[in-house]
Amino acid sequence: MSEGSVDVVAQDTTLGPLLESQVYYTQGKGDNSTDNTVISPQVVLAGIELSVAEAAQTVDACAELCRGEDPCTWFVWCPAQGGCDAGGVQLEFQDCQLLAPNGTAVPQVLAQGLQVAATSGFPWRTEARQFPGFTTVPAQGFEGMGDQTCPGSVLPGKCAFRTAVEAAMFCMTAASQCRTIVVYPNGTDGASDLVAVLKAVNLPPSTTTASPLMYSITRLDNLPITAQYLYNSDGTTILPTPEEAAANSSWQGCFIGRNAAVDGIVVSTIAQPSAEACCRACRGWGLGSASVVTVNATSTPDSCNCWNYCEQPGGCRYQASGGMVLQLEQYQCQLRFQTLIQPTLAYPAALIAKGPAVPFSAGGPIVTSGPQLPGYTLLPGKGLFSFGRFNCSQSLRPEIQECVLPGSPQQLADICDQEWECEAFILKQQGVSGLGSSLGIFKHDANASAILWNPTGLLYLRDEQPAVPPSPSPSPPAPDSAAAASSLSAGAIAGIAVGSAAAAAALVGAAVWLARRRRQRRLHQQGAKLNGSGGSSSERVADEEAAPASGAAPAAAAAAPDAGPPPSAFAAAAFDTGGGSSSPAPQSLTSQPSVGVGELPHLPSMSSTVLGAGMPHAPSLALPELQQLIQAQDAAVTSSSGDSGGAASPSDAQQQLLAAAQLPQGLRDFLVDPDSFHYCRLPNGKLHELGSGASGKVYKAVLHGEFVAAKEIEIGTNPDLQQTFVREAVRLHQLRHATVVGFVGVALVGTKGVLLQELCEGR
């Protein structure tokens, strides 16, 4: 083996990056195993020459030489007996030139074509991370298109994070824009720390590059996106002692999660006698967990906002997907930092994993505090993310159907008291994603199974049940019961049944569910009072929410915690699609509610509560409540359908398909591009039909990677059918209730109108 030059080949002499179309894989394209090799015939790659090995009889032998020499990243091999020109360096027959990156993560091409005798390539060393709802594409990525900006980015002009887990979590929440994450294990320069860049487009066939220093994670449109969080039931909350609270110290408490490991940049690893001591050390490490910390793509943060701890004898070890190993000795405390959970972004912590197989405890300090408010129970360090959302007048986030309003804590409580849907609100002292400070996020439901750890959250649970909404004014005539049943069945219970019989069953099921929810809420109130007194840690553990009694909670409350609330849709607006992309981003969901499988209202299944034998009679109080709500919304539909001016005359309309311009203004904001969703098919190729009735059929569909129910109605050019369709869509849009499946959007597809709603699959 002879030593070669270490000069860097000039970048301006290259022909461009190595494209995926120029390579083949020895173990097959997409193989994630670390013994895969990528070969590019008749190509010479640029780089820093480390050495030239002689007598490498095959290209695979050359690849193994590179794999065994750590700085080597790619190689050039000469298969020609007359020798090969390797960009000004003459290689003899079977010489293997070992190269290191020259300031880029993507190999650059020096020469290519039929006149080139050499063969280049690289070994694949990195086992890429796997995430639910995504497919991992090893050794591929792209640059120069689909770049956007977002809060907390570590790279200017891009949306980038220091860990793949944080990037994937943000991508899950920026549902409509984020399509791909390009991960650079050694940074974009090939010689620094990991960075993951979110893209608004899929891998482009013509410009996808091949590199051993990148891989891509692409969203799948036929699979739901899921994420893991630490829920209230996954751990213990420790609050300050009265002395600490009186001293106004920086210690606001801590959440300690069992059998979990948090992601983030490792700040330091220290010895601590307990998990609480680890949490206190994290809080005091630079005191940055309560402030905004600027993180770039290479520096180590000087503050801590989450941690992992090992208490078991013999140490703790866990291997995650992608080969990443987390290992700590007994009593070791690993301090970490996550960009996402900084106060200005206010996300829950991203997890590496949780469950019985994870031997660590994990958590973080609570970094905010708020006043006790009359009529409310305060849970510090807790939140509901996007569970229980509803819209309201003057919301800062109406496009995602989230009621977000500014105000002091007492002002926010007064707003909740006056809003009949409000059961709780989360106070964000430092705002969310640049929306200002002291914001309230209001919730129509606060199910115990949905409460999760959020270090910047202050969850205020309303002690008294919200009042039943007032009866509608008698002046607008309400539709007869048959019409109401037809409309409710067509939309509110989409995907379960279609027709008036299903609507009647839905009303009964709703009554049972409301009664059960009230009983469960009373159980919550008995155990939700926080106790900040006491001396030892065990005495200062905050009382956890009482678990609902068996059979008294909605079906989803008994589900696995990870099937609970979905990622927040705040990121959908934060992931800015306005900047600098050379390719248009996919249609945004920011004008529509983000719908995920984990985001569905917790309705009991129709088979178990409506059709099951021996079902107890529902209290009479719930059924009139829902009937009053339907009557109120019918009255609103009657008035709103009259403002859709500009419609054609009946004679003209008979010859016209329904157009977007004929929809009421409020409904146009929920118009979905037909190309943005598609119907699911069964293994036999037939459409996946969920139900059918006199007015149409309901199919299972996928909208931006999330399952929805699509009711397809033939409206043609008949103005009466068109008007009926519009009235039904408007009613569903305006009908907000905890017992009604949420409205997603409306689409016009040829002669058909399509109502898109949340899918209650398996609930």
**Domain range summary for the chain, segments of one domain joined by +:** 11-123, 126-220+558-585, 232-365, 369-465, 481-522+602-758
Q: Look at residue 668 and tell me whether its pLDDT is greater than 70.
A: yes
pLDDT band (50, 70, 90) for residue 683: low
Question: Tokens standing for 584?
Answer: 């248009």
11-123 and 481-522+602-758 have identical folds: no
User: Would you tell me the crossing angle of helices 622-640 and 500-527 to the nearest 10 degrees?
Assistant: 120
For the chain, helix, strand, coil in percent to 5 are 25, 25, 50
Alpha-carbon gap, residue 72 to 70, rounded angstroms: 5
Q: Look at residue 739 and tell me whether its pLDDT is greater than 80.
A: no
| 621-624-629 Cα angle (round to 5) | 125
Architecture of domain 481-522+602-758: 2-Layer Sandwich (3.30)
β-pair type (697-703, 677-679)? antiparallel
Question: Tokens standing for 213?
Answer: 């220093």
Q: Please compute the mean of the pLDDT values over residues 276-289 and round it to a whole number.
A: 84
β-pair type (119-123, 37-41)? antiparallel
Task: Region of 201 please: left (phi>0), alpha (psi -120 to 50) or beta.
Answer: beta
Is 230 or 32 the better-scoring residue by pLDDT? Answer: 230
Helices (H) and strands (E) in the chain, counts: 13, 37
Q: Look at residue 644 and tell me whether its pLDDT is greater than 80.
A: no
For residue 283, what pLDDT is reported?
93
CA nearest to 399, candidates 671, 624, 607: 671
pLDDT band (50, 70, 90) for residue 31: low
Q: pLDDT tens for residues 129-161?
A: 777 778 888 899 999 889 988 878 889 999 999
> Is the pTM of the predicted complex or chain greater than 0.75?
no
Is 452 or 665 the better-scoring residue by pLDDT? Answer: 452
Is 761 or 474 the better-scoring residue by pLDDT? Answer: 761
Question: Tokens standing for 448?
Answer: 């115990």
Q: Look at residue 663 and tell me whether its pLDDT is greater than 80.
A: yes
For residue 33, what pLDDT is reported?
64
Q: Please compute the mean of the pLDDT values over residues 77-98 and round it to a whole number.
A: 94
Residues 6 or more apart whose Cβ sits within 8 Å of residue 643: 664, 665
Residue numbers belonging to the annotated binding site: 711
CA nearest to 213, candidates 148, 283, 291, 141: 141
- CA 486, 491, 497, 502 dihedral sign is negative
Q: Please compute the mean of the pLDDT values over residues 592-607 and round it to a whole number.
A: 30
Residues 6 or more apart whose Cβ sits within 8 Å of residue 613: none
Residue 526 vs residues 384, 529, 547: alpha-carbon distances, Å: 20, 7, 11
Are 351 and 257 in contact, with CB atoms under 8 Å apart? no
Residues 6 or more apart whose Cβ sits within 8 Å of residue 471: 628, 631, 632
**DSSP 8-state symbol, 232:** G
Q: Look at residue 555 and tell me whether its pLDDT is greater than 50.
A: no
Helices (H), 108-156: none
For residue 328, what pLDDT is reported?
97
Annotate 249-266 with DSSP letters as a single string: -S---EEEESSEEE-SEE
pLDDT band (50, 70, 90) for residue 508: very low
Is 230 or 606 the better-scoring residue by pLDDT? Answer: 230
Residues 6 or more apart whose Cβ sits within 8 Å of residue 501: 489
CATH class label, 11-123: alpha beta
For residue 655, what pLDDT is reported?
59
What is the SS3 assignment for 490?
A: helix
Specify the DSSP element, H or E, that contains 739. none
For residue 399, what pLDDT is reported?
63
For residue 64, what pLDDT is reported?
93
Q: Look at residue 228 and tell me whether its pLDDT is greater than 90.
A: no
Question: Torsion angle, CA of 513/708/400/587, rounded to 10 degrees?
Answer: 180
What is the SS3 assignment for 370?
A: coil
CA nearest to 604, candidates 737, 707, 739: 739
Question: Tokens standing for 684?
Answer: 């036999």
Alpha-carbon gap, residue 203 to 186, rounded angstroms: 20
Q: pLDDT tens for residues 385-415?
A: 878 888 888 888 776 678 899 999 999 999 9
Q: In this structure, which CATH number among 3.40.50.12280, 3.50.30.40, 3.50.4.10, 3.65.10.10 belongs to the domain 369-465?
A: 3.50.4.10
pLDDT band (50, 70, 90) for residue 92: very high
pLDDT band (50, 70, 90) for residue 333: very high
For residue 18, what pLDDT is reported?
95
- CA 595, 596, 601, 606 dihedral sign is positive
Q: Look at residue 305 and tell me whether its pLDDT is greater than 90.
A: yes
Is 495 or 439 the better-scoring residue by pLDDT? Answer: 439
Residue numbers belonging to the annotated binding site for ATP: 711
pLDDT, mean over the chain: 74
In the sheet where 43-45 sits, what is the strand order? Answer: 16-17, 108-112, 43-45
For residue 381, what pLDDT is reported?
95
- CA 411, 417, 421, 425 dihedral sign is positive
Residues 6 or more apart whose Cβ sits within 8 Å of residue 759: 494, 495, 597, 600, 700, 707, 708, 709
For residue 287, what pLDDT is reported?
59
